Amino acid sequence: MAEKKRRGMLRHLATLALAGTLIPGGIAAAVENSFPSQEIRFINAFSPGGTSDMLGRILADQLSKQLSQRVVVDNRTGAGGVIGTQELARAAPDGHTILLASMGIMTITPQMQAVPYDVGKDITPVANVASVYNILVASPKSEIRTWQDLVRLGKDSSRNPRCATVGAGSSQQLSCVLFASLTGARIDQVPYRGGAPAILDITSGRVEVMFGNMPEFLGQIRDGGLRPVAYGAADASPLLPDVPVISKTGLSDFVIPNWFGVVMPGGASPALVQRWNVEINKALEAPEVQRRFTENGLQRLGGTQEAFLQQIAADRARWGKVIREHNIRPE
């Protein structure tokens, strides 16, 4: 009897498999239509209070409305985003776990250090979400008012200026190392678990400078707790148009873009990837999301999975070349 039941089950599974091959998208459509069937876990690899956390919560609010399921931000911080990314790589590819991945996670960190996952196999890119302006800020208690002041202090001072970073492979760390490499300035890195604790130390004067994401600096800049010095981005933000751009004022090779995109575990079905891509792009068109992006200096991206894959490949090649040419290593 047991053998008869086993054979019956095998025939049933074979029938389902055949139906999936004969009816285009049959099984995929069924999977997509049943999604989501539970709460969504939205992993954030960086600490609360930073740009990544703010962006993740803006998206989570809108996606919860669209999907009629709670989308809950889960901060898994540490190791420059590696811990949170490993959490994603271990998750089931059923669409109920996603990660807000930074450019550093996808294109820089795997080229600078060993990571416990294969970024090309264990992670499925879905859609790019936002780009952020890279900006150099300084403590008001320091004498640094221009990026040239930082170079001068890094060459002439008896004590090297300190630059806050948020871990190996982050755009903040790469910015600091590349700036020092291009200018010859001696700058000490001070690593933090996220932007918020780093900002506290800069405002208090314990650390002099930081290259980072403009949105997380805006409040302190407006209140006088941070001094905006120069943009590491290709252009100035309309929110602070009078701050100079480093690449346009003497250091043409210093351009640091940064973006955040949504990714899923490796092995996710094309149907689920497409469903998530549609939902992400829909969220980016929501008036409330657009308003909050504008207020916080975020630039909306969106687009197809193919465009996101091309962006990742291009940045991986670019930063791999920079890392090799300047012998950049995690510290």
The model's confidence at residue 10, banded by pLDDT at 50, 70 and 90, is very low
**Span 55-71, mean pLDDT?**
97
From 134, 99, 133, 135, select the one nearest 119 (Cα to Cα): 99
The model's confidence at residue 47, banded by pLDDT at 50, 70 and 90, is confident
The model's confidence at residue 13, banded by pLDDT at 50, 70 and 90, is very low
- Distance of alpha carbon 72 from alpha carbon 27, whole angstroms: 28
As given in the structure block, the two tokens for residue 151 are 């170079």
Residue 77 and residue 212 share a domain = no
Domain that holds residue 263: 38-132+258-325
The model's confidence at residue 16, banded by pLDDT at 50, 70 and 90, is very low
Residue 116 and residue 96 share a domain = yes
Is pLDDT of 28 > 70? no
Residue 278 and residue 206 share a domain = no
The model's confidence at residue 230, banded by pLDDT at 50, 70 and 90, is very high
Is pLDDT of 12 > 70? no
| Number of structural domains in the chain | 2
Identity at 311, one-letter amino acid code? Q
The model's confidence at residue 159, banded by pLDDT at 50, 70 and 90, is confident
228: Cβ–Cβ under 8 A, 6 or more apart, which residues?
Answer: 135, 136, 137, 217, 221, 240, 243
**Span 105-114, mean pLDDT?**
91
Q: Which H or E run includes 172?
A: helix 171-183
Handedness of CA 149, 150, 154, 155 (dihedral sign): negative
Residue 95 and residue 143 share a domain = no
| pLDDT for the residue numbered 192 | 85
- Distance of alpha carbon 317 from alpha carbon 202, whole angstroms: 33
**Helix 270-285 and helix 26-33, axial crossing angle in degrees, nearest 10:** 40
100: Cβ–Cβ under 8 A, 6 or more apart, which residues?
Answer: 42, 43, 44, 45, 52, 55, 56, 59, 129, 260, 261, 262
290 or 46: which leads in pLDDT: 290
Is pLDDT of 266 > 60? yes
Query: If you average pLDDT over every residue of the chain, what do you get?
Result: 88
- The three-class DSSP label of residue 101 is strand
DSSP-derived pairing of the beta strands 162-165 and 209-213: parallel
For 182-197, what is each residue's pLDDT tens digit?
999 999 999 887 778 8
CATH number of the structural domain spanning residue 71: 3.40.190.150
Asked if residue 101 is part of any domain, the answer here is yes
**Span 228-245, mean pLDDT?**
95
Asked if residue 240 is part of any domain, the answer here is yes
Q: Of 202, 221, 248, which residue sits at a domain end? A: 248
**Span 316-330, mean pLDDT?**
84
Handedness of CA 81, 47, 215, 55 (dihedral sign): positive
In percent, the amount of the chain with pLDDT more than 90 equals 71
Is pLDDT of 11 > 50? no
Q: Of 248, 267, 288, which residue sits at a domain end? A: 248
For the chain, the distance separating the N- and C-terminal CA atoms, rounded to the nearest angstrom, is 64
Asked if residue 14 is part of any domain, the answer here is no
- Distance of alpha carbon 161 from alpha carbon 207, whole angstroms: 8
Note whether 261 and 308 are within 8 A (CB): yes
As given in the structure block, the two tokens for residue 255 are 């351009």
CATH number of the structural domain spanning residue 225: 3.40.190.10
| pLDDT for the residue numbered 2 | 41
